[in-house]
Amino acid sequence: MTEVPEHLRKRAEEARAKAAAAKAAADAPAEAPAEELTAEQQEAASKIPAHLLERSRAAKAKAEGGDEAGGGVAVATAPTAAAPVSAAGGPVPTGPGGHTQRLLTVVKSGSIQDVKALPQDKVHTWPHLLVVEFAAALFITAFTLIFSIFVNAPLLELANFNETPNPSKAPWYFLGLQELLTMFHPMVAGVTIPGIGLFILMFAPYIDRNPSPKPEDRKFAISLMTVHLMFWAVLVMIGSFFRGPGFNFVFPWEAGLFFEL
């Protein structure tokens, strides 16, 4: 059985003391000395609240008055159940009316309150998001297929290992990295700078935790992504249009365009 908290036990003792004092004050004019009360009556008086005792006295007085006025009208009473007996052989102490319920635990008021779910501006991934993504994937696939039928890919002739092209450039998506290699040591340009950029982009969602989709509320995230894209776009454009033979810096309007897909 769960132990009753101390503050509830103290509150029950205070209420019992107040009830006993109120009963003693009510019984004072009755000229009934306490010595004449039996032990069972004193025990019952210490457990039964005063308002129940008053109700019992009123019921007895009404019944006695009915007997005297009506010539002995019998009052039917329900048969009382036998007092329960404990395993040790003695009677089990009961409350008013023979009830034997006991307090098992104290339930906090917060645990029985009705909690209503708040509305959220969210939708399920399926089917709302995946249907749109699947439709977009089908559209892009169909567009690429139709475009490839009418337009050939700008491929060069077969590679000749006896002739190295000058300048030898990487694909356009790697030209930013190749441009960094002309400015820094390979360890710095190929590992340090890209690694720092990737770590900053990975930690950005944990730094800027604002859920608002408005650009004016996401200044940190938008600024970080803009700087990253502009930095990489500038390197790609320099490597594509401003690098000539020997990967030297040239102006495309003077030396020509040394860039092929």
Residues 6 or more apart from 258 whose CB is under 8 A from it?
A: 167, 169, 243, 244, 245, 250, 252
Domain coordinates in residue numbering, the chain: 1-54, 163-255
The answer for residues whose C-beta is within 8 angstroms of residue 245's C-beta and 6 or more apart is: 166, 167, 258
CATH topology of domain 163-255: Helix Hairpins (1.10.287)
User: Rounded to an integer, what distance in angstroms lies between the CA atom of residue 55 and that of residue 60?
Assistant: 9
pLDDT tens digits in sequence order for the chain, 261 residues long: 556 677 778 888 888 888 888 888 777 654 444 445 555 555 555 566 777 778 888 888 888 876 555 444 444 444 444 455 554 555 555 555 566 655 555 556 555 555 566 666 777 888 888 999 999 999 999 999 999 999 988 777 888 888 888 888 888 889 899 999 988 999 999 899 999 988 988 888 888 888 888 888 888 888 888 998 999 999 999 998 999 888 899 998 988 888 776
* Total length of the chain: 261
Judge contact between 94 and 83, C-beta under 8 A.
yes
What's the pTM? 0.43
